[in-house]
Structure 1
Amino acid sequence: MTNYLLRNASILGGEPTDLLLRDGVIAEIGAGLSADGVEEIDAAGLVALPGLVDLHTHLREPGREDAETVETGTQAAAMGGFTAVFAMANTEPVADTAGVVEQVWRLGREAGHCDVYPIGAVTIGLAGERLAELGAMADSAAHVRVFSDDGKCVSDAVLMRRALEYVKAFDGVIAQHAQEPRLTEGAQMNESELSGRLGLTGWPAVAEEAIIARDCLLAAHVGSRLHVCHVSTAGSVEIVRQAKEKGWDVTAEVCPHHLLLTDELAATYDPIYKVNPPLRSADDVQALRAGLADGTIDIVATDHAPHPHEDKDCEWSAAAFGMLGLETALSIVQETMVDPGLIDWAGVAQRMSATPARIGRVSAEHGRPLEVGEPANVVLYDPSVRRVVDASQSASLSRNTPYAGRELPGRVVATFLRGKATVLDGKLAQS
């Protein structure tokens, strides 16, 4: 393994210093370090962050390798500064058995671009009728601790209660896709005056908020852990805030696109902006930013959802929900949270590395502070540059980014996974 000396890096935006990455760990930190047999990298002006952790990624393999594979998805993750991703269960076949989650875990190990932690389905086939093999997945080589039917809601309250009770045995967490199905039948975009004008079936905020409220109560009742996926409304933020004030074990995530984009984009009828949950109002966006800043929302998670062009290059009503997120997440957090002064770089590290690692129960390997003796999971990020997003240059197999042609701040310069460079000079490193 090549060892690296990072010169004049700014750890969490602090004073410049050197970091020596040797044998997979951070061996030394200090000014003016010297070492033999290392590759030196000029990191002046770059912010050093712990490797990012995404608790919500769709890698599509097995079954939809036309959209993404573990290989290409983890390459996109590395390009975005991620050293670990949690892969959602809505594959084909669904990751509802020990065999499928172990397959995804092994594919991640073989690819080697970042660590892949499979998320197990809550119900068999995501059908919402019977619990999946939660215990078997937890005991498998993949050591699954996060379970979700994401893409679908566990809408049956009795089934949700049983899942919350079951995972307590091995310190698991249920990550809920909060969408009351009866309130969102045929829904296409945020319910508003605009949806009426556009003739698109509205998706009411209460469809999300009702499930979150119910599940917070259930989690408190059984004393279990609940994680709320992709919070998108001001009302949802308030419900989560109230749950936390009561001391309930509830965590929540927000996606980068919900921090930046609004439902006004639906007026273009461009399906690139069709996502689940939908883009919401400007007021919702402001509430989400405030919730992330004050800690009500715990983490940023990408909900990276690749689709082949035929699933997006069609009329709005027929198009698939979802958009890419891994390679642009850090830039959007800089634009919406750091540059306006809502959080600093230490806050970014907390929300995009340490806390998601804790929720996913991988804190021994990821989300560690940049200190001597810790795993050398490091991102070098240049916040001073601006770049125009070019969809054709994405490491993902798919091209459904809503930011194509948009200028965003910042650029991941290098990513190191246990001291191994996965990205160097903004490009994928050679294996």
Structure 2
Amino acid sequence: MSDRYQDLAHNPIGKFLVKNLGLPNPPYLERYEGGPLVQGSVLTGSATQGDVAKAVTAALKALKVEATGVPAQGKRYKGLVFDATGIADAAGLVALQQFFTPVLRQLQGSGRVVVVGTVPEEAGSEGARVAQRALEGFTRSLAKEVGGGSTANLVYLAPGAETSLASTLGFFLSPKSAYVSGQVVRIGTTGITSVTDPVDLEKPLAGKVALVTGASRGLGEADMRTLARDGATVIGLDVPPLEADLKALADELGGGYIVGDITAEDAPATIAAYVKENYGAVDVVVHNAGITRDKRLRNMKPENWQLVVDISVGAPQRITDELLAQGLINEGGTVIGIASIAGIAGNNGQTNYASAKAGVIGWIQALAERVAGDGITANVVAPGFMETEMVKTIPLGIREAGRRMNSMSQGGQPVDVAEAIAWFANPGSGAVSGNVLGVNGQMLLGAS
């Protein structure tokens, strides 16, 4: 759905009004269209005794990103990466100001800021734990300052995960993370600290098989297209009324498809049988299917409560357990749940949906611990206001509030969710597990 206000804000009259009336100014975001991950140079820095500066340099080299550790006066940078692992007490936090203040004006539009720290619980001393936890407040505040479509995100590393940075840096420094800002990601916290870097940077999922539920339209369609772009063979699943759309998409992408209701009693066995017979196993499972049946709790019907919860979290649990029981998720594979900002912040009239989506987070975090020994990861993508067909049904006032109340002053696109899923699915993200990533432009109220 088009954003007419955004277009208005960029014409000459609109620019004048936005500037002089202090109105929201939604920038046009740069999104990935192929080619190099970063179109420009990245400046790196480190606090004294930083642990990962060399790992950052090595990761950027592997990603074929131009990088330097020496700032040049007047030069513009597409990204700024700071190793904050060496900050061991509150006083040492001044290193953040000393690095960023002189160079922030040199950050290009749609630029990227990444701070790398140590998981606070593993920091080693009380002072270090204080300092490392402080990085969250710093990064989220900076994310609200940078503007112009730029983002700022924080990456925490567990001990031993220093060499597992490349995929995550590539995501956060590239246009693939256009609508991801103010987020915190932890690497290596489930015990998986080594990764298999993809052979082909442009096709990191070559040779992989991905299953996507709710695949025929909207977010699911974007997931299918993006995973296929990255080299995966895709299998789409959707309900019988959408079979024609599903088949057309699968045929276009050279993949397979399954028609059925995921809440049916025999759905897990049916899906497992299809995967086993046609592909042997899968590497990526994306539980995208979901519905809303909005009513305030006082008016909620039991069947609408149960259906929403079962589609979002009950059925995905059963399907995943069946695939795992039959050994149909390969080592190095990943399970990705789709939650929502509603599951984090709540939403009026959506107690059923918010409960279901919060449940997705609880399930995936428990699953991440359970399957870590098998070399399988599990993560959550939590979208905010997304520009899908569904928003047409939202009253204008609420729709505009949803668009503007984030650091980007706009709604996200389905591809923004798909890019996050593709990052989680990347073999180089094999140490990224148990995370909840908000794809929401950094919501200003209720959640980060």
Could you state the TM-score of these two structures normalised by the residue count of structure 1? 0.33
When Rg is computed on C-alpha atoms for both structures, the one with the higher figure is: 2
Greater strand fraction, Structure 1 or Structure 2: 1
Greater helix fraction, Structure 1 or Structure 2: 2
